[in-house]
Amino acid sequence: VHISLAGDKHIRVSWITSDSLSPSLVEYGTSPGKYSFKGHGDTTSYTYLLYSSGTIHHTVIGPLEHNTIYYYRCGGQGPELSFKTPPAEFPVTFAVAGDLGQTGWTKSTLDHIKLCQYDVHLLPGDLSYADYIQSGWDTFGRLVQPLASSRPWMVTQGNHEKENIPFFKDGFEAYNARWKMPYEESGSSSNLYYSFEVAGAHVIMLGSHTEYDDNSDQYNWLKTDLSAVDRKRTPWLLALFHVPWYNSNSAHQREGDKMMEAMEPLLHAAGVDIIFAGHVHAYERTKRVYNGKSNPCGAVHVTIGDG
């Protein structure tokens, strides 16, 4: 089970069952064991070579109160879980870590995040490292469920989500089926890029591994999204994507140059404050920068691919 933001005052609950007849039902309320409300959703599934997924449920619930603990259960049975909705105004706390995978270091990172009083987790790509072995998506889901079922996890794709097989399988099939983000709610035509708002922050999730040139759907969507940002309502403007544009590490040098050439002018013109990226398995933070130079009006770039 994991949850994500799905528009104003709404949460999407996602979970997987082995039973195809299990209902896409979420019962919820503000007291343990008392479910005053319910929501119904839809299902999907996919096959990948010899693998067949379980039934993947996505159910949007709400409207919900801000900064409130809700108790819920999925499918009309099973264990009771709980989550806390983000606040309506500052302060708001984000936990940010990319490139999680499934190692002992992953557990250490999750243990650290668990100690934080955070409201939303931001993940700039590379989730499960399943890398074509689809059961890896299931083990990853179980690994992160204790955290991802209790706070919204907002993710974007990395290179390890692609899993394409030329002439046979398009990329991102497992990612798109399992980790549905609020792309429709933000006017995007693709689950690979979208935006959302929480408290006083407008957060843009971009795709390093889908088309981004100035003729692409993603580029045109980004222009439209940025033009609608109200900095009086959301004074903080954040962007996340997988491949860093500024990187002093020896790994993955200059891989983000073409995306930066296309999209950095748009983000700079909109006054983006902070940009988070993953991909490089290290931590790095720049001063304010634009077009390869220090710039007092540029964004601070943070590489946080050390999950």
pLDDT at 61 over 90: yes
Confidence of residue 258 (pLDDT cuts 50, 70, 90): very high
* φ/ψ of residue 40, rounded to 5: -115, 140
Say whether 62 sits in a helix, a strand or coil.
Answer: coil
Number of H helices, E strands in the chain: 5, 20
Q: Are strands 283-290 and 293-294 parallel, antiparallel or unpaired?
A: antiparallel
Residue-level pLDDT at 228: 97
Quickly count: other Cβ atoms within 10 Å of residue 78's Cβ.
Answer: 12
Residue-level pLDDT at 103: 94
Residue-level pLDDT at 168: 85
Closest CA to 274 of 219, 175, 202: 202
Would you call 202 a catalytic residue per the annotation? no
Residue-level pLDDT at 78: 82
- pLDDT tens digits along 90-125: 999 999 999 999 999 999 999 999 999 999 999 999
| Chain centroid, CA 235 distance in Å | 21
Give me the percent of the chain exceeding a pLDDT of 70.
100
Q: Are strands 201-205 and 120-124 parallel, antiparallel or unpaired?
A: unpaired
Residue-level pLDDT at 160: 97
**How far apart (Å, rounded) are the C-alpha atoms in residues 238 and 271?**
9
Please list the residues that pair with 240 across neighbouring strands.
Answer: 205, 276
Residues in the chain: 307
- pLDDT tens digits along 76-87: 998 999 999 999
Q: Using alpha carbons only, how large is the chain's radius of gyration in Å?
A: 19
Residue-level pLDDT at 58: 98
Residue-level pLDDT at 94: 98
Confidence of residue 88 (pLDDT cuts 50, 70, 90): very high
Helix locations, the chain, DSSP H: 104-115, 135-148, 173-178, 217-227, 257-270
- pLDDT tens digits along 143-185: 999 999 999 999 999 999 999 998 888 899 999 999 999 999 9
Residue-level pLDDT at 169: 86
Taking every pair of C-alpha atoms in the chain, what is the biggest distance, in angstroms? 57
pLDDT at 53 over 90: yes
- pLDDT tens digits along 1-21: 999 999 999 999 999 999 999
Residue-level pLDDT at 170: 87
Query: Which of 10, 252, 268, 281 is an active site residue?
Result: 252
- pLDDT tens digits along 18-49: 999 999 999 999 999 999 999 999 999 999 99
Please list the residues that pair with 249 across neighbouring strands.
Answer: none
- pLDDT tens digits along 225-254: 999 999 999 999 999 999 999 999 999 999
Angle of CA points 155, 158, 162, to nearest 5°: 115
Q: Is the dihedral of CA 151, 152, 156, 157 positive or negative?
A: positive
